[in-house]
Amino acid sequence: MPGERPTFPAAALALEGVTVWEWDPRSSERPVLLDGVDWVVRAGEQWAVLGPNGAGKTTLLNVAAGLRHPSRGAVRILGETVGRVDLRELRARIGYLDLALETAFAPRRTALEVALTGATGSIALLGERLTAPDHARARDLLARFGCAPIAGQAFRTCSQGQRRRVLLARALMHDPPLLLLDEPADGLDLPGREALLAALATLAGEEPAASVVTVTHHLEELPVSTTHALLLRGGRVVAAGLADTVLADAPLSTCFGAPITVRRDDGRWTARAQPGW
Is 249 found in the same domain as 208? yes
| Spatial CB neighbours of 28, under 8 Å, sequence gap ≥ 6 | none
Is 108 found in the same domain as 11? no
CA-CA distance, 234 to 54, in Å (whole number)?
Answer: 7
Region 88-101 average pLDDT:
87
The residue type at 117: T
Mean pLDDT: which of 25-29, 74-78, 183-187 is highest? 74-78
pLDDT beyond 90 at 30? no
For residue 99, which of 184, 220, 160, 194 has the smallest C-alpha distance? Answer: 184
The domain in which residue 169 lies consists of: 99-175
In this prediction, residue 77 carries a pLDDT of 95
pLDDT beyond 70 at 1? no
Last residue of a domain, one of 175, 198, 218: 175
**How many domains does the chain fold into?**
2
CA atoms within a 13 Å half-sphere pointing along the CA-CB vector of 96: 18
pLDDT beyond 90 at 26? no
Asked whether residue 276 is domain-assigned, the answer is no
Mean pLDDT: which of 7-16, 77-86, 88-97, 234-243 is highest? 234-243
The residue type at 29: E
In this prediction, residue 256 carries a pLDDT of 94
Region 193-220 average pLDDT:
90
Contact 21, 78 (CB under 8 A): no
pLDDT beyond 90 at 161? yes
pLDDT beyond 50 at 228? yes
pLDDT beyond 80 at 29? no
* Segment 255-267, tens digit of pLDDT: 999 999 999 999 9
Asked whether residue 84 is domain-assigned, the answer is yes
For residue 188, which of 97, 94, 57, 55 has the smallest C-alpha distance? Answer: 97
Is 218 found in the same domain as 255? yes
Is 186 found in the same domain as 156? no
**Tell me, what CATH number does 7's domain have?**
3.40.50.300
In this prediction, residue 276 carries a pLDDT of 59
Asked whether residue 244 is domain-assigned, the answer is yes
Average pLDDT, the chain: 90
CA-CA distance, 182 to 166, in Å (whole number)?
Answer: 15
Is 248 found in the same domain as 111? no
**Strand 178-182 relative to strand 211-215: parallel, antiparallel, unpaired?**
parallel
214 strand-pairing partners: 48, 181
pTM of the full structure: 0.87
In this prediction, residue 6 carries a pLDDT of 43
pLDDT beyond 50 at 2? no
Task: Report residue 7's pLDDT band, with 50, 70 and 90 as the boundaries.
Answer: very low
Is 65 found in the same domain as 34? yes
**Sheet with 72-77: strands ordered across:** 32-41, 13-21, 72-77, 80-81
In this prediction, residue 99 carries a pLDDT of 85
Is 234 found in the same domain as 105? no
Asked whether residue 2 is domain-assigned, the answer is yes
- How many angstroms from the chain centroid is the CA of residue 224? 16
pLDDT beyond 90 at 237? yes
Higher-pLDDT residue of 10, 212: 212
Please provide the DSSP assignment of 152-179 as one string.
Answer: TSBGGGS-HHHHHHHHHHHHTTT--SEE
Please provide the DSSP assignment of the chain as one string.
Answer: -TTPPP---S-SEEEEEEEEE---TT-S---EEEEEEEEEE-TT-EEEEE-STTSSHHHHHHHHTTSS--SEEEEEETTEETTSS-HHHHHTTEEEE-GGGGGTS-TT-BHHHHHHHTTTTSSS--GGG--HHHHHHHHHHHHHTT-GGGTTSBGGGS-HHHHHHHHHHHHTTT--SEEEEESTTTT--HHHHHHHHHHHHHHHHH-TT-EEEEE-S-GGG--TT--EEEEEETTEEEEEEEHHHHSSHHHHHHHHTS-EEEEEETTEEEEEEPTT-
Contact 216, 237 (CB under 8 A): no
Tell me the percentage of the chain whose pLDDT exceeds 90. 70
Asked whether residue 78 is domain-assigned, the answer is yes
Is 127 found in the same domain as 53? no
Is 45 found in the same domain as 148? no
Is 85 found in the same domain as 182? yes
Asked whether residue 277 is domain-assigned, the answer is no
Region 142-158 average pLDDT:
95
CA-CA distance, 230 to 232, in Å (whole number)?
Answer: 7
Last residue of a domain, one of 130, 150, 175: 175
In this prediction, residue 89 carries a pLDDT of 87
In this prediction, residue 4 carries a pLDDT of 46
pLDDT beyond 70 at 9? no
Is 181 found in the same domain as 263? yes
